[in-house]
Amino acid sequence: MGSEIPLQGRIPFTDIVIDMHWGNHALLMFGVWFVIVPFAVMFLRFGKGRPQTYGIPRGTPLWRQPELCWTLHKRLLYLAIFLALGGVVFAATLTGGVSGTIHSMFGLGAVTLGVLQIVSAWFRGSHGGRKDPKADPDNRATWGGDHFDMTPQRWWFEAWHKTSGYFAIALALGAVATGLAQYWLPWIAVALGAVVFGALILAVVLQGLGYRHDTYMSVYGTHPDHPFNRRRFAQMFAARDEKP
């Protein structure tokens, strides 16, 4: 255990000093970044419904598949960031501020990217599609939306959301590793190894069994007249025709 880690903390605006139980902080952050977040990511990645012609049926409840994977993904990530922020604020408040250790830098980086995930979701644009409540299922002209049309706004949102999400998990891994170097907890180290190895095996198996489906086709369907499908098919045929 590093000598720079305070063993006691003072409640702000009082003279009350309490013992710091860093194992609780470690358990909270491990649970957030290596239980809640991986489950939210894996369930969405491999839990999407098999693509149908017109995607998710109109009126499907949010808590039933194929909408369930999206609902859980969003709710669990909101919960994860709320708990992570709480863990950071609690530790920083009782110890008089954020330390300059590598552990704190990794942790703050992960939490910052997590918060930006939430913020970026507010700019993902409209949904659209046949299932949109504002659309007339029989009138394709009413199906427009940022996701259905895959506008630049939606395209760049997905590029940021997916990429920064994996970076956040990588930073969280660095935070746990450096935290263990400061305050060794063998059960956290064993659990971390089990989660990483287990997630790898599970992802390989689910990928091999064909449970990973294209997001756009899973949501909106495989119909060739859908804007993004039409665009991708055109690119595919153009690439085929360019071959020598």
- Residue whose structure tokens are 């997001």: 215
d(C-alpha 94, C-alpha 24), whole Å? 14
Identity at 236, one-letter amino acid code: M
**What is the pLDDT, as a whole number, of residue 92?**
82
Residue 115's Cβ-count burial label (10 Å; 0-12, 13-18, 19+) is middle
**What is the pLDDT, as a whole number, of residue 28?**
94
Note the pTM of the prediction, 2 decimals: 0.89
Give me the domains of the chain, ranges plus CATH numbers: 19-242 (1.20.120)
How far is C-alpha 27 from the geometric centre of its chain's CA atoms?
20
| Cβ atoms of 33 and 84 closer than 8 Å | yes
d(C-alpha 23, C-alpha 108), whole Å? 19
**What is the pLDDT, as a whole number, of residue 60?**
94
**What is the pLDDT, as a whole number, of residue 66?**
92
Consecutive 10-residue averages of pLDDT for the chain (244 residues) = 60 71 88 96 96 94 94 96 92 77 93 95 94 92 96 97 96 94 92 96 97 96 95 80 60
**What is the pLDDT, as a whole number, of residue 242?**
65
